[in-house]
Amino acid sequence: MNPRKPGLVTHATEAGRRLLGRWWRRQSPARQDRFATLGPLVSVLLFLAAIISAFWYLRNEEVEREAEAVKRDVEIAQQQIRLRLIENQEQLVRLVRENLTREQDTADFQRLAASFAAERPEVLKLTWFDAQKNVRGQYALYDSRDESSPVAGSASAPPAASGVRTESDWAFITLRDLRQPVYSRPFQNAERAMVFQVHVPLIERGHFGGALVADIGIDALLRHLVPVDVTRRHPVAVIDEREQLLASSVTPMPGPRTRRASIVHDVPLTPAANGLVLRGTGYRTSAGLVGNTLFWMVVALSALTVWMLLGTWRHMRRRSQIQGALVQETNFRRAMENSMLTGMRALDLEGRVTYVNPAFCAMTGFTEGELIGRLPPYPYWPHDRIDENARLLQQELQGRSPAGGIEVKVMRKNGTLFDARMYVSPLVDSRSQQTGWMTSMTNITEAKRIRDQLSASHERFTTVLEGLDAAVSVLSVQHGELLFANRSYRLWFGADSRGHALLASGTGPALPVATDRDESVDGLSGLPTQELTAMGANPREIYAHALDKWFDVRSRYLQWTDGRLAQMLIATDVTARRRAEEQAAQQAEKAQVSSRLITMGEMASSVAHELNQPLTAITNYCSGMVSRVKAETIDRDALITALEKTARQAERAGQIIHRIRAFVKKSEPQRQPAHAHDIVEDAVELASIELRRRNVAIHQYVAQHLPQLRCDPILVEQVLLNLLKNAAEAIDSAKLPPSRRHIELRVIPRHTPDEGGVIEFSVTDMGPGLPEEVLARLYEAFFSTKAEGMGIGLSLCRSIIESHRGRIRGQNLYNGDTVAGCRFAFTLPVETHARHEETTRPAAVHNEAALDADNTPAAKTTP
């Protein structure tokens, strides 16, 4: 042994100790405490892990020993069964070869079979079959009196009527093909015992002459061939490929299936090779870790040690946290006192100043040294308010200061004054004894100025609301209480909320109004308050019968000053405007009727010419018939033909008069479903009279499958007739050649981003067009380019189209720089709803005059 080794070890130990000591001294006290606590904790956890590992190792070693024992016993049982089956197979082959021939009788077979089975208790039956599987001889250890009705799959059972083959049949077929010993699959024999068969072929002169079949009981194999000491140590069983139990050395107990053994070893049942498996099972003899008492004692002691160490560590950690919190709280209070804008002042019970913060010094302008230790009067008291401040100080020292604070005047060191509010609270020490008073002071000069401005602003706002001509009211939705009403509201409706309810009818979404005053029940819970308060004003005109006035009412939901949901209404008296609109509407109606009458007056000569043709024809037909009747040269058929032609001419004249009468008839304004094709057909039929007189042709195109309009067809027909007549007059007055004397009328659907889905009516002519200055003033009232025109035609057309929420426009058509014609077009929306008819009357609502058959005016009706 090297004598220097102990010295080297000692030197290395000393060096390691010095390094560890140096590292330990570099740590902070808090970290040292943490390491001192965590060291024992880690040691205990390592000890517990070592105990658990030892238990786990011993348990696994035991399981491995048991598995080896099960494997050894199963292999011994397999070896015993395999040797016995090979011996049986060899004896059967020898028996077939030496003793069984065609001349052998049944008695001899019984003797040989009994001798063979006497030494082999596992062989339950021997059967001798010929080549067609007919039984030539049979020997069984059990009573076979019920063989007339054997169970399916038994060796002696005849083939099933349905043609289903048994396991014995399949084994016999395989034997006949291979001519070698064959083992069948397991089945249940007539005695309800699980068996399998050994088929040994009988070969005579090279031909298959039959078979000798031995039924071997599986249960008998286990009872007689498996050693007793093996079955005492471990259960041994035979199972098939479907894990079905066929036989076992342990009798299975009735009831639910037991759990699978923890140790299982399977080996095939050789040399049968028919799917049978020999299974040995074993169980652990010792309890696991969970059931081990010693293990739990170790765990409990370790847990107790860990708990005590954790408690010590938590105590030290809490102590460290308290120390850190104390330091942090001290620094926080110091920083808060130095940064806050509220002045803090402490007084003892005699009124001596004991503490002031920097904010108090900044407010007054005095230093801390000038204030600490001073008795009243203090230097920041105004000279003219010393007595008042002394009274307030005595009140403060006696603890009678109001909770809302007191408002005082404070003088700075430079002599200026400012308003301040002081709040007083008692100063208590650690023994709950009062040692003085703590006063906080806030500069309220700016806040007081803002409050005065707000008061003045509120007064001005109230004066403005009181001076409005509109009624303004605010109603609490929850309680139905009138929160505010200006002078106009009180003048019209009084101080009652029923006027608000009258004006609010239909101005917004209905909300529940509480009928009781139970404050504990919130009837508005769940309402979308944000959506209601964000809704804009919804204007609506309401008629008050009691006042005979029309009001334009605008409503809005808002949050009142106390947080309640309220509804505000602004109602403006619009009675004068409504009456002016009604008068304007009546004038517009009269202008429409006048326009149609003027149009008919301008077309009078054309209408007379149009009526003259059927009337002349009627006169000629009548004169001819009278002459021929007098001369008796007309027969009955000719007379009927002449009368039919006369009737058609009279019907033609009646249709012309009916069209004109329907056009100028005064009727109630109505919006109804109408088709563009019908409107165009009626307008073109009326305009064709004037067009034929002026020798102007018309080409019309109406698109197919146009959507339905909701409009007044008479007014739209009036606009079309006016545009067609103007185009014909422009062509005729320009003396254009026949190639340019035509008008094109087109009706097509369109879709624009501004108007959406509309139907466009356009009238295009090849006339001289319109000057730019005329286009700029085209829709002005009483402006006309005709010498005899009144200037209300296109203005009235525009009013009619805009009342239907459509648009009308006119433009010149150019061929290069030359005007090649003019085009007027107007659009009507596809879906026109009547939702605006209650709030805004159309700018031009027709009120036509109706003519009866004698051309006498009908009675005037008002809407």
- At residue 621 the predicted structure's pLDDT band, cuts being 50, 70 and 90, is low
Per the listing, tokens 């006309």 go with: 784
- Do residues 679 and 713 lie in contact, with contact meaning Cβ atoms separated by under 8 Å? yes
pLDDT of residue 299: 79
Helix (H, G, I), strand (E, B) or coil at 501: helix
Classify strands 482-485 and 540-544 as parallel, antiparallel or unpaired. Answer: unpaired
Query: Given pLDDT bands bounded at 50, 70 and 90, which one contains residue 509?
Result: very low
CA dihedral 343, 349, 350, 351 (to 10 degrees): 10
Provide φ and ψ at 136, rounded to 5°.
Answer: -100, -25
How many whole angstroms separate alpha carbon 279 and alpha carbon 264? 7
Least confident stretch, 104-113, 376-385, 852-861: 852-861
* Each residue's pLDDT tens digit, 373-402: 988 889 999 988 888 888 888 888 887 878
Write out the H or E segment, with its range, that includes residue 126.
strand 123-130
Residue 602 has pLDDT above 70, yes or no: no
**Overall average pLDDT of the 628-654 stretch:** 77
Q: Which of 635-649, 793-807, 815-829 is modeled with the greatest confidence?
A: 815-829
Residue 90 has pLDDT above 70, yes or no: yes
For residue 700, the model assigns a pLDDT of 92
Higher-confidence residue: 594 or 671? 671
Is the pLDDT at 532 greater than 60? The verdict is: no
**Tens digit of each residue's pLDDT (9 = 90 or more) over 238-264:** 888 888 888 888 877 665 666 677 788
pLDDT for residue 661 is more than 90: no
Q: How far is CA 778 from the centre of its chain?
A: 55
pLDDT bucket at 671, cuts 50 / 70 / 90: confident
Higher pLDDT, 526 or 664: 664
Q: What is the pLDDT of residue 597?
A: 62
Task: Name 801's Cβ contacts closer than 8 Å, sequence gap at least 6.
Answer: 719, 807, 808, 826, 827, 828
Average pLDDT value for residue range 133-140: 87
Model confidence band, residue 537 (pLDDT cutoffs 50, 70, 90): low
> pLDDT band at 162, cuts 50/70/90?
very low
Determine how many CB atoms are found less than 10 A away from the CB of residue 536.
8
pLDDT higher for 664 or 302? Answer: 302
pLDDT surpasses 50 at 546: yes
SS3 156: coil
The answer to which of 253-267, 331-345, 350-364, 374-388 has the lowest mean pLDDT is 253-267
pLDDT beyond 90 at 315: no
DSSP H or E stretch at residue 253: none
Q: What is the pLDDT of residues 172-196, one digit of tens each?
A: 888 888 888 999 999 988 888 889 9
CA distance 720 to 850: 20
Q: Give the per-residue pLDDT at 234.
A: 85
Residue 843: predicted pLDDT = 34
On whether the CB atoms of residues 284 and 278 are closer than 8 A, the answer is no
Angle at 232 between CA 228 and CA 238, to 5 degrees: 75
Residue 524 host element (H or E): none
User: Tens of pLDDT along 206-236?
Assistant: 888 889 899 999 888 888 888 888 888 888 8
DSSP string covering 631-652, please?
Answer: TT---HHHHHHHHHHHHHHHHH
Tell me what pLDDT residue 861 has.
Answer: 26
pLDDT band at 817 (very low <50, low <70, confident <90, very high): confident
Please provide the DSSP assignment of 528-567 as one string. -HHHHHH-----EEEEETTTTEEEEEEEEEEE-TTS-EEE
User: What is the radius of gyration, based on Cα positions, of the chain?
Assistant: 61
| One-letter identity of residue 725 | K
Does residue 704 carry a pLDDT above 70?
Answer: yes
Query: By percentage, how much of the chain surpasses pLDDT 90?
Result: 7
Q: What is the mean pLDDT of residues 350-358?
A: 89
Residue 755 has a pLDDT of: 81
Please give the Cα distance from 279 to 268 (Å, whole number). Answer: 9
pTM, two decimals, is 0.35
Task: For residue 172, give both structure tokens.
Answer: 């016999």
Residue 556, φ and ψ in degrees, nearest 5: -160, 140
Q: Specify the higher pLDDT residue, 26 or 853.
A: 26
pLDDT at position 623? 72
For 855, the token pair is 């051309």
CB 516 within 8 A of CB 596: no
**How high is the mean pLDDT of the chain?**
78
Mean pLDDT of 435-449: 87
pLDDT of the residue at 148: 33
Tell me the CA distances in angstroms from 281 to 246, 259, 263, one per residue in order. Answer: 15, 12, 6
pLDDT for the residue 762:
94
pLDDT, residue 316, reads 76
Q: Which residues pair with 138 in a beta bridge?
A: 127
201 has which bridge partners?
211
> Any residues with CB less than 8 A from the CB of 695 and at least 6 apart, and which?
732, 738, 741
Residue with token string 């049986």? 88
- Residue 612 has a pLDDT of 61
Confidence of residue 114 (pLDDT cuts 50, 70, 90): confident
pLDDT in tens, 835-851: 344 333 333 333 333 22
Q: Is the pLDDT at 702 greater than 90, yes or no? A: yes
Question: Taking the CB of residue 197, how many other CB atoms lie within 10 A of it?
Answer: 26
Over 70: is that where the pLDDT of 649 sits?
no
Helix boundaries (H) for 271-385: 293-339, 358-364, 368-371
Whether omega before 271 lies within 30 degrees of 0, making that bond cis, reads yes
Task: Say how far apart CA 396 and CA 738 lie, in whole Å.
Answer: 112
What pLDDT does 98 receive?
78
pLDDT of residue 665: 56
155 versus 20: which is more confidently predicted?
20
So what's the pLDDT on residue 7?
64
Kindly give the interhelix angle for 636-664 and 604-630, rounded to the nearest 10 degrees.
160
Identify the pLDDT of residue 6: 62
Under DSSP, is residue 130 helix (H, G, I), strand (E, B) or coil?
A: strand
Question: What pLDDT is attached to residue 288?
Answer: 55
Q: pLDDT class for 339, splitting at 50, 70, 90?
A: confident
Asked whether the predicted pLDDT for residue 325 surpasses 60, the reply is yes
pLDDT band at 664 (very low <50, low <70, confident <90, very high): low
Select the more confidently predicted residue: 372 or 467. Answer: 372
The neighbouring-strand residues paired with 407 are 421
